[in-house]
Structure 1
Amino acid sequence: MPLCPTGELVAEAAAHQGAVAAFNVITLEHVEAVVAAAEAVGEPVILQVSENAVKFHGGRPHPIAAAAVSAARRSSADIALHLDHVKSEALLLEAADCGFGSVMFDAAHLSYRDNVAATRRAAQWAHAHGLWLEAELGEVGGKDGNGPLDAHAPGARTDPAEARRYVEETGVDALAVAIGSSHAMTSRDARIDHDLLNTLRLTLDLPLVLHGSSGVSDQEIQRAVAGGISKVNIGTALSIAMTRAVRAALEADPDAVDPRGYLAAGRRAVTDTVTALLTTVTTAAARTV
């Protein structure tokens, strides 16, 4: 099937009080695993390639993007391609040529004023090239001499009034908000501030995104989706699944030299993990409270 526009998948999910799951991929095995899970569950997904993943591939986004595009076009599932956590404006400018339909532009490390200016430029460029743009807002800092906190720094919380001003000043299409989750968590005990999420939902007229969802339990994810989250980002859970499976395969066969054996085990583990998480995200609308 043709690649789907990210914005359309998110809007469709939100229209049904649901969310679309977005999975960060690093290797071809990740891509194949996510696509297989989407086909098995019969739900749309977003394949996300982060700036860090691009750095892993030598700073060249085209090869991994081309693999994702090829897999998506040969799949029966609805799949979008998203460039995640981009800080480099040079990388942003490569997005459209690589087949990405959307970008998450990350200027959260900058002061509020510089964040707005950089994100506004990114949004204007993205819209001129047919791309949907996501940004994030945690805490702008400035208190006690502290700098800005990104949306998923421990303890960060998004101020609703500040978020409304930020959205108006930047023209972004979606906003990742700080409501209790954190990146790179290996446990699933993050607690979502559901009252804050409800206020943000009522204050902002655009899709809200939950980053760091690997650290959030199934129940909390479903409550967050029911409470207004329209896009759920998941990355670390896939890395945990692959690493554990590869490690177990190599421990079981210390003399193994053919990578196909242990990579296949890793791919299966990622497919299983994505299948479970995709089911969690996409059944949340039916459990709205």
Structure 2
Amino acid sequence: MPLTTTGELITRARAARSAVAAFNIITLEHVEGVVAGAERAGVPVVLQVSENAVRFHRGSLFPLARAAVAAAERAAVPVALHLDHVRTDRLLRQAADAGFGSVMYDASHLPYDENLAATRAAVDRAHAQGLWIEAELGEMDGKDGGAPRDAHAPGARTDPAEASSFVTHSGVDALAVAVGSVHAMTTRTATLDHALLGRLTAVLEVPLVLHGSSGVPDEELRAAVAGGIAKVNIGTALNQALTGTLRTYLGAHPDAVDPRPYLDEGREAMARTVERIVTAVGLTPA
């Protein structure tokens, strides 16, 4: 199936009052596991490569991106490729050539005015390349007057009025908001602020994105999608599935040398995780 774009998938999902699941990939096994899980569930999916993942690959974006494109083109469901949490202009410039249709530009660590200026410049560059662009907004002023809090720092919340102004003046196509999820949670205990999400949905016309969704229970995710979240980002849950499986296998086979058996089991564990999450949340089939 031809590679699609995040923007196209979100447009279809919003029309169906649903959302798109976006999974962060690090290795080829992540790519294959996510696509396999999405195919079993019959739903479209977004493959996300973060700047941290690029750093892990010694700063080279193209090998993993090329593998993701090849997998997408052979998938039985629509697959998009998204570049996540980009902070460097060098990486942003590579996105389109590497096959990405969208990018999340992250200047949320900067004071509000600097965040807005940097994001506006990134939007102009991205749109010139035909890229759909997402940004992030947490607590720009900082509760104590200090540095802004990341959108998914514990306790951070996005202010609706600030978000409305940010979207208007930056020109972004989507906004990741802080409503109670936290990055890298290994327990599914997050409670979302659905009243705040309702206020954000009421004032923003662009699709809203929930980062840190691995720590959000299924019922909370379903309520978030019903309340206006159009893109659900998941990463840690995949890594838990992969790493847990590898620990179990190597514990049972201490003399194992060939990596294929345990990587195969890890890939299958990630596929089951993808299938379970998208099915439990009730995302619209392709």
How many residue pairs match? The answer is: 285
Q: Confirm or deny: 8 A CA contact 1:210 1:231 kept in the other structure.
A: yes
Answer whether contact 2:111 2:148 (CA < 8 A) is retained.
yes
Consecutive unaligned residues in structure 2, runs of 5 or more = none
**Does the 8 Å contact 1:225/1:285 carry over to 2?**
no
Q: Deviations over 1:234-281 (max 9, x none)?
A: 000000000000110101110000000111111011011011011123
Shift of 1:144: 2.5
- Counterpart in 2 of 1:151? 151
The answer as to whether partners of 2:13 and 2:20 remain within 8 angstroms in 1 is yes
Could you tell me which amino acid in structure 2 is paired with residue 265 of structure 1? E
Question: Equivalent residue for 1:4?
Answer: 4
What are the superposed Cα offsets for residues 29-65 of structure 1, whole Å, 9 maximum, x if unpaired? 0000001111111110000000000000000100000
The answer as to 2:227 corresponding to 1:208 is no
1:107 maps to what in 2?
107
1:144 and 1:228 map into 2 onto residues whose CA distance is 30
Runs of 4+ in 1 over 3 A off after TM superposition: none
Q: Give the superposed CA RMSD.
A: 1.1
Local SS of the residue matching 1:145: coil
Q: Does 1:27 align with 2:27?
A: yes
2:14 & 2:32 partners in 1: Cα distance? 26
Give 1:68's aligned residue. Answer: 68
1:135 counterpart letter in structure 2? A
| 3-state DSSP of counterpart to 1:134 | strand
Identical positions, percent: 63
Match of 1:120 in 2: 120
Assess if the C-alpha contact under 8 Å between 2:142 and 2:149 holds in 1.
no
Counterpart AA for 1:40:
R
State how far apart, in whole Å, the 1-side matches of 2:256 and 2:144 are: 55
CA distance in 1, matches of 2:77, 2:284: 20
Contact map agreement 2:43 2:284 (CA 8 A) in 1? no
| Residue identity opposite 1:111 in structure 2 | P
Quote the Cα distance in structure 2 between the aligned partners of 1:76 and 1:110: 41
Distance 2:205 2:278 in 1: 25
Match for residue 136 of structure 1? 136
Which residue number in structure 2 is paired with residue 80 of structure 1? 80
Pair 1:221 & 2:221 matched: yes
Question: How far, CA to CA, are the matches of 1:151 and 1:144 in structure 2?
Answer: 16
Distance 1:143 1:41 in 2: 42
Per-residue Cα deviation, 1:195-248 (whole angstroms, up to 9, x for no partner) = 000000001001000000000000000000000000000000000000000110
CA distance in 2 between counterparts of 1:212 and 1:156 reads 13
Measure how far apart 1:143 and its partner are.
4.1
Shift of residue 142 of structure 1?
4.5
**Residues 145-184 of structure 1: CA distance to partner in whole angstroms, max 9, x if unpaired?**
3211111011100000000000001000000000000000
Instruction: Name the SS for the 1:2 alignment partner.
Output: coil
> What is the CA distance between 1:285 and its match in structure 2?
6.9
The match for 1:246 is: 246
Residue 269 of structure 1 aligns with which residue?
A: 269
